[in-house]
Amino acid sequence: MSTFLRSILLIAFLSVGNLSNGQDKEMPAENSHCLNCHANHTYSFFNEWLEVETRRMMNPFYVLDSVNYVAGVHGGFSCTDCHSPDYETYPHNAELKLEPLATCIDCHGGDDTYADYQFDKIEEEFQKSIHFQKSGESFTCSKCHDQHYYRATARTSSAVSEIVSYNNNMCLSCHDNALRFETISSEESPKLSQVHDWLPNQELHFDMVRCIECHTVVVDSLMVSHNILPKEEALRNCNDCHSSNSMLKASLYKYENLQARSADGKLGALITNEAYIIGANQNPLLKLLSFIIFGLAVLGIAIHWIFRIVKKSK
């Protein structure tokens, strides 16, 4: 297929992806130069040494998922906004691999546009975390938040399960991937199902609760706590979540987009609740009703009993 035809198909594909995502962002036209190769599993170029057109496999780690890219928070960015313009020539200069890439705080530090996200506070919290304590500066934001695809699901999605799976996949991308784990730690990656075998209904918890619910210190002023704790300090007390003052209300359910679903009064919480948490989903109406019925039953029995005693003593 000619490069021209592939470019047309690529642009058509990107626009379809864009429409289906309902995003107002568009893939910047200048990116097509990079995506010609980096959005495909194979690429071709003219080998000037051999003077032949050559087709090769693309290193899978360098293949960009353009649909996810456009849907991500940085989807409107040009490749060269972050990467060196020297990448525009091929073969790329080997030294370019060593170029320092911007971290979140380089662009978002003191950023008023995204003040709500509190990047500076996040950075402060992150520096207390086990990730920073163990790996220092080499543990960059992008280890969890892939700049190419990251979406602020917790703030935008109203489905708990989507927020949970998106968030947990960030943790699992290393903690359930021996290769990636190796790039951070020389220790062997622990088997998650084994270290969590104390947890009843493990699978259900993994599907419905974010790892960070138990593995971070919840900070009231931050949406997502970034102070990931050492494993020994992770939460292991069921009552902290399974009670009427469930900790989840201060973490997972603190998002406005989730609260909006149950904002229509007390019954609303009963009707629109997606996730059921034993002990935490106490419906005030049912609770009151049950206390009244129980009270009446006890009162009725007590009165009847008193009459029986009175009758017997006569």
Q: Which amino acid is at 208?
A: M
252 binds another protein (CB under 8 A): no
Q: Which of 245, 260, 264, 284 binds another protein (CB under 8 A)?
A: 245
Asked if residue 293 lies in contact with residue 257, where contact means CB atoms within 8 angstroms, the answer is: no
309 binds another protein (CB under 8 A): no
Q: Which of 49, 60, 198, 232 binds another protein (CB under 8 A)?
A: 198
284 binds another protein (CB under 8 A): no
Which residues does 243 contact at the CB level (< 8 Å), separation at least 6?
279, 280
279 binds another protein (CB under 8 A): yes
CA distances from 272 to 50, 209, 267 (A): 66, 18, 9
Q: Which of 36, 68, 80, 243 binds another protein (CB under 8 A)?
A: 243
Q: Which of 3, 59, 133, 239 binds another protein (CB under 8 A)?
A: 239
Which among 11-19, 52-60, 213-221, 304-312 is the span making contact with another protein, rule CB under 8 A?
304-312
263 binds another protein (CB under 8 A): no
Which among 166-174, 212-220, 226-234, 240-248 is the span making contact with another protein, rule CB under 8 A?
240-248
Positions in the binding site for another protein (CB under 8 A): 198-201, 204, 237-239, 242-245, 270-276, 278-279, 281-283, 286, 290, 293-294, 297-298, 301, 304-305, 307-308, 311
